[in-house]
Amino acid sequence: HSDDAVEEEFSLFKGKNFVFDQRCVGELTESEEVTDDVLGRCFQCGEPCNHHTNCSNLMCHGLILQCSNCATTMLGACSEACKHEYVKMESMTPDEQRNYRKANALKWKPKNPNSLKYIKFRPASPELLQEA
């Protein structure tokens, strides 16, 4: 019962408590800092990073850790292929974007995720998916 909770000075948990599916989320936040520790690394450059974001290419939408420098350079995308798709779709109207995503989304998702033996991460670009 939360009224009986005792405020602790020391936590066994470190970093951020990240909620990826919006359960138990209050005050419109996705994560709560438990400690100041930065435990993750940027998906692109490997710098220490605790910021979770989804790839800006809505056909990929992979969840990654991305630092602010890479977010700026990559326009929020997880790869050059996704950045290219994001830029392409930004020049389209909302209806054109929707139709384009419907026509191309399957290129960005594996038919069977378990068949991607050598791909050690998600998201994966269409080039990698074709080789799998």
pLDDT in tens, 77-100: 988 989 999 999 999 999 999 999
In this prediction the pTM is 0.65
Q: Is the peptide bond before 123 cis (omega within 30 degrees of 0)?
A: yes
For residue 123, give both structure tokens.
Answer: 């998201």
Half-sphere exposure of 66 (CA within 13 A, CB side): 19
Distance CA 55, CA 68 (A): 13
Q: What is the mean pLDDT of the chain?
A: 75
Cβ(55)–Cβ(123) under 8 Å?
yes
For the chain, domain boundaries: 2-110
pLDDT in tens, 36-63: 777 788 988 989 988 888 889 988 888 8
pLDDT in tens, 121-130: 555 555 555 5
**Residue 130: which H helix or E strand, with range?**
helix 126-131
Using pLDDT thresholds of 50, 70 and 90, give the confidence band for residue 24.
very low
Distance CA 71, CA 115 (A): 30
Distance CA 18, CA 72 (A): 22
